[in-house]
Amino acid sequence: MKKILIANRGEIAVRVIRACRDMGIATAAVYSECDRAALHVRLADEAWPVGPSAPRESYLRIDAIIDAAKKAGADAVHPGYGFLAENEDFAAACRDAGLTFIGPSPEAIALMGSKTAARQAAIKAGVPVVPGTEEPLGDRESDAEVQKVAERVGYPLMLKAVAGGGGKGMRMVASPADLASALRAARSEAQSAFGDGAVYLERRIMSPRHIEVQLLGDHHGTVLPFVERECSIQRRHQKVVEESPSLAVSPELRRRMTAAAASVAKAVGYTNAGTIEFLLDERGSFYFLEMNTRLQVEHPITEMVTGVDLVQWQIRIARGERLDLDPEALLTPKAHAIECRIYAEDPDNGFLPSPGRIQGLRVPHGPGVRDDSGAYEGGDVPIFYDPMISKLITWGDTREHAMQRMRRALAEYQVRGIRTTIPFFQWLLEDADFKAARFDTGFIDRKLGKDPAGHGEPPRAPMQAIDATHEDLAAIAAAVHLFTKPIMNGVAAPAASRWRDAGRTEALR
C-alpha cells in the first residue's frame, strides 16, 4: 500500500492523514467546492475536487470519488465515518475498481446495516437482544397485526426504523392507544430519511446506559475486543461526551460484554474496525443494540486507554497483516479517558448552528490532552456539513484526574468568531450527577428540561457562569483593547485615506 485516498473531510480526514504519515504512506484528499482550503486538503500530499458543496453532489458521489482515486493512482481508500463509510455499494465499487477498501466487506456492511438482520445474527451467536420483533414490519402489516405483535413485546416499547440511525424513524410508545399514530410517524420518517419505511418493535429498557465495545478483526480469523466505552451522554440521540472505561462496568461484566461482542463479529466473519453497541439496564443485564461497521467518532478514547493506534491497525489489517496484539492488554485500561465533541453551535441559544469564520483559535496542550480537529485560524466552518469542528480528549490515572484535565483544557480552548458548545461541557462537568457518573441515555435531555414529547427547550439560566468580576474584567479588557489598538501609528495610511476619501465624497455633494 503506497497511497491512500481519504474519502472524507474535516477532523477524521486529518486523523487518517496523520496515521498514513506515521506509516510512510502517501495521502490523497478529496474536496468539495467550499472545502478547497480546508485543513485536510492543506495537509494531504495531493487533493482532487469531487464536486459542489452539497454532500450529495460531492462526498456522497461514489463515481466521483472512485474517479479521483484512479487519477491519484491510489491503491486503497479510507472512508472515515459518515458519508459513504457504511455504504456497501461504495465498498463494492472500490473492490470492483481494484482499490482496497479499508473497512469490512460489502457483505458485512449490508448484513449489519439491517437492524433486524443484525439482531438475528446476535441471537444466533447466543447474545441477548432487546426483546422485540425479529422480522421487519413492512407497509403491508395492518395496524391490528402490529397491535398483536406489540402485545407480545410488551409496553412501553420502541418503534425503530430497520434502516435507521441517528434517532430518525424512532418513536417511544407508552400504551396501545398511542401505537397507530406512532407507527404512521415512524414509517413516514424512515421512508423519507432512509428510503425504506420498514420498522420493528423493541421493548423499552428503562434508564439504560449506552455501552459499546470496539473490535478489530483481521483476515486470519482473529477478532479482538477492547475495553468498553460509556456513551450515555447524548443530546437528542446523538453522543456528545464519551468516556472509557465505564464506571457501571465491573471487570467481570467487561469480560462477558466483550466476549459477547467478539462472538457476534466472529459469527458474521467481520473484518477491520467495528463497534458493537449494547444497552445496559439498571440490574446489570445487557442487550445487543446494533453494530457500526466503521471507525467511530469516539475511537480516540479507546486509543488513549489502551495505547493502540486504531487507524493504523485498520490499514495494517487491510494490508493482510495479523492482529498480534495482547488480548489481555486490550481489556485492561491503563488510564481513564474522556472526549467532548466540540460543535459550532450556541448552547445558550437553543444549540443554534453557528457557522462562519474562525477569527482566532487557541488549542489546549500539555499533559493528558489531545485535540483532533479540522479547524484553523482564518478557516471557515461551512454550512453544508456536520457542525462538529473538533474532539477534545483528556486522560488521567482516574476519572477525576481526566475530568480535571478536561476542565483545564476547556478553559484554555478559545474558538473566536463563532459560538461553540464549550460552555455546555463546562456546565456539564460541574453537574453533581455527572461527576458521580449517575446517568443514563436520557440524562442530558432531562437536565436541559426538554419536554419528553420533544417540543423544544424551555428558557433556562445561561450555561456560562459569568459573575460581576468577570464582567468587570471584560469591560476593562474591551476598553484597553480599543485604547491600545495600534491604528493611529502614522503608518495607518488606509485609515487616513479612508477619511480623506470620505471628505472628498462629502465635498462633491
Partner 1 sequence: MIFEVAIGNRVRTVGIVRKGAMLHVDLDGRPHIVDARRVNDSMVSMLVQLDGARATSRSVDAAFAAQPTAGDFDVHLDGLTIPVQIRPAGSVGRQKKDGPASPPAGPQRVVAPMPGKVVRVLVKAGDLVRARQGLVVVEAMKMENELRAARDGRVRDVAAAEGQSVDAGALLLIVE
Residue ranges binding partner 1 (CB under 8 A)? 359-360, 362, 410-414, 416-417, 419, 422-423, 426, 464-466, 470-488, 499, 502-503, 506-507
Long-range pairs for 81-84 at CB < 8 Å and ≥24 separation? 81/8, 81/12, 81/294, 81/295, 81/296, 81/297, 82/8, 82/12, 82/386, 83/7, 83/8, 83/55, 83/59, 84/7, 84/59, 84/60
Which residue number, 37 or 478, has a Cβ lying nearer to partner 1?
478
Which residue number, 174 or 411, has a Cβ lying nearer to partner 1?
411
Which residue number, 252 or 483, has a Cβ lying nearer to partner 1?
483
Rounded least distance, CB 350 to partner 1, Å: 16
CA atoms within 13 A on the CB side of 272: 27
Which residue number, 156 or 379, has a Cβ lying nearer to partner 1?
379
Alpha-carbon span 496 to 388, nearest angstrom: 42
Rounded least distance, CB 126 to partner 1, Å: 49
Alpha-carbon span 196 to 163, nearest angstrom: 7
Nearest to 11 by CA among 90, 61, 82, 63: 82
Is the bond into 494 cis (omega within 30 degrees of 0)? no
Rounded least distance, CB 466 to partner 1, Å: 6
Nearest to 207 by CA among 271, 281, 275, 157: 281
Set of cell numbers at residue 357: 469564520
Alpha-carbon span 133 to 199, nearest angstrom: 10
CB 243 within 8 A of CB 402: yes
Alpha-carbon span 63 to 97, nearest angstrom: 11
Active site residues: 294
CB 363 within 8 A of CB 391: no
In 320-426, DSSP assigns E strands to 336-343, 345-346, 352-353, 356-357, 360-362, 369-373, 380-381, 388-396, 414-416
Rounded least distance, CB 11 to partner 1, Å: 22
Rounded least distance, CB 357 to partner 1, Å: 10
Rounded least distance, CB 161 to partner 1, Å: 38
What 3-state DSSP class applies to 48?
strand
In 255-379, DSSP assigns E strands to 272-280, 286-292, 336-343, 345-346, 352-353, 356-357, 360-362, 369-373
Which residue number, 181 or 464, has a Cβ lying nearer to partner 1?
464
Which residue number, 452 or 503, has a Cβ lying nearer to partner 1?
503
Which residue number, 383 or 465, has a Cβ lying nearer to partner 1?
465
Which helix or strand (DSSP H or E) is residue 467 part of? Answer: none
Rounded least distance, CB 464 to partner 1, Å: 6
Set of cell numbers at residue 385: 456539513
Q: What is the largest CA-CA distance in the chain?
A: 88
